[in-house]
Structure 1
């Protein structure tokens, strides 16, 4: 119990020291150890990589699964280490509906037969889409997520540790600086004309104490500098690994493009086959036209003798004196005129 209390007190003191150092730096009252330009460039590159990788990852998720509820469900299944249930694609569902409708309408009719063929094609499109989604998730989304949830978290952790060690280092530098100022002030030659010898003894004792304090502060500074340098090297190696991350993501991007191209090519082939099938159905239908009850012109025989008659189908108002005004169902035996629109 006593050990835990001491550890807690030590941690609280360290946190307070870092907070004071951070505040003084923000107020311009303390010096800050600056990292070299190359290190700063590495950190900027890492931040940029994380920013755009996250954006690309999120938007690719939206592309592959536009339904936000489905994305949340898949996320929860993955976090719980449960198997994600197989989901029917929209194209497959549409194809199934078309085939069910074709059975209801009778496959022997042109409409029912066409529904059956289009439904089968939609199912094949849905299967191709599911295969594309699975391939893209494995070859593209998974590496991006591994970087964000693995490598980047490690980099962020080491950078936070480096920042804490930098605050400790700068706090030690400030402590050494203050101790040296106090030592110099205490080492000022005492006034030998002082009639009270006790003051002279106290002055010498204070000088010795500040000298000891300076030595202690310098020792802590050397330790802090060593820890900071070691952590800076570890962080630098992790940041330099971003180049390998770019190479890996480039390979994954090529695989994603190949999967997408194969998917669209397969969809195009399926649609071409469907067009050929539908075209052949139209050709067969035109070669054997369906008999209708439409009256043919050659079947209309003019009367051999007598007067020709014409029945008026619609009311018509004459536009000028050269035309006739007629009423619907009126029979005109004197003037037969064909009026075209």
Structure 2
């Protein structure tokens, strides 16, 4: 009997809420409005949830572009299983280069270069793996925790508040109808009961409103935490790129120090040696193919080393060909400055 009574009460409450909701929609009943501050807190919570989900998803795409691997990692995470160590593409490339270099022979020019480049690729890959792991731990994990825990709790409290608001407005409507009845003496008991129900509903609503407001206020601390996570992500990314940059700069120096990678190095039976070419470049310039000509610079160019000349777009320089120089380059002069420049960056003036 008690369970039946409880079921009947629940059914009556559900019917009352449905009727109140319907009357509000068609404009036959008033609706309690939240204060502007509370509305702003709700909008902030909604924006935070939407953008956190989008940022978290895109961050996962950046850290792991392969959707199949992402799906595998997702299921492993849900099953609480440890992820298998996975080499990055740079590490795989480094291993292949090292293997190829050893097969060609470490003492050969190509073999030695492949081994050097392979070792650097492996280091870059390791740095990339550390960057991915740090970003996942410092940025993605806090975002997911907020979405899966805080957002769900806020949504639950907001739904409960909406229910309490319907109960409150239903009690208000009930009391209003009871008071407006002509036979006031016959409905005194109904009025008193409706007033008591209204007081109880108001108390429940106020309590739930305060709980929900506290939850929404907590979104501010979430913004602070996400700001810190964003800074840690940038720090990890900077470390990754700096490590890669330094390794590549050192690798470039090593490769340029070998004969095989020297600028303008040629292969074959050329009667003009590199020393002869260097001596001619250092000696007073002597036109070989044509006399000195004026040329217009088409694009800015930054010299890669001391033998080259930096250029600024639209400036006029003097150019002339030098025997033995690569056909893609030409010697240029600007005042007391002299150096070779790419032919694609200039236009000879007639």
TM range (shorter): 0.7 to 0.9
> Secondary structure, in 3 states, of the residue corresponding to 1:107?
coil
TM-score (norm 1): 0.75
User: Structure 1, unaligned stretches of length 5 or more?
Assistant: 188-206, 298-341
Q: What is the rounded CA distance, in whole Å, between the counterparts of 1:105 and 1:7 in structure 2? A: 85
Per the TM alignment, residue 55 of structure 1 is displaced from its structure 2 partner at its CA by 1.2
The aligned residue for residue 322 of structure 2 is: none
Q: Which stretch shows the higher mean deviation, 161-170 or 78-87?
A: 78-87
Partner of 2:314: none
Task: Find the counterpart in structure 2 of residue 240 from structure 1.
Answer: 217
* Alpha-carbon distance change, 285 to 30 in structure 1, aligned in 2, over 3 angstroms: closer
Structure 2 unaligned blocks of 5 or more: 273-350
From 183, 188, 200, the counterpart of 1:186 = 183
1:257 aligns with 2:234: yes
> Would you say 1:227 and 2:226 are equivalent positions?
no
Once the 2 structures are TM-superposed, how far is the Cα of residue 283 of structure 1 from its aligned partner? 6.9
- Report the structure number with the largest CA radius of gyration: 1
Report the Cα offset of residue 35 of structure 1: 0.7
Check 1:88–1:283 CA distance in 2 against 1; reply closer, same or farther (3 A cut): closer
CA displacement, residues 61-117 of structure 1 (integer Å, 9 cap, x when unaligned) = 111111111111111111111111111101101111111222222223211211111
1:214 to 186, 191, 199: 191
2:109 corresponds to: 110
1:266-305 deviations in Å (ceiling 9; x for gaps): 010110111011111237989x998x6x4859xxxxxxxx
Residue of structure 2 equivalent to 1:7: 6
| Map of 2:55 onto structure 1 | 56
Say which structure is richer in strand.
2
Deviation digits for residues 143-195 of structure 1 (CA, Å, limit 9, x no counterpart)? 1111111111111111110000000101111111111122xx114xxxxxxxx
Does residue 156 (structure 1) correspond to residue 155 (structure 2)? The answer is yes
Q: Taking structure 1 as reference, are residues 147 and 280 closer, same or farther at Cα in structure 2, changes over 3 Å only?
A: same
Residue 218 of structure 1: SS of its match in structure 2?
Answer: helix
RMSD value, Cα = 2.1
| Counterpart residue number, 1:278 | 255
Assess, with a 3 A threshold, how the Cα gap between structure 1 residues 275 and 223 changes in structure 2: closer, same or farther. Answer: same
Higher-helix-fraction structure: 1
Structure 2 contact 256–262 (Cα < 8 Å) conserved: no
With a CA cutoff of 8 Å and minimum separation of 6, indicate the structure with the bigger relative contact order. Answer: 1
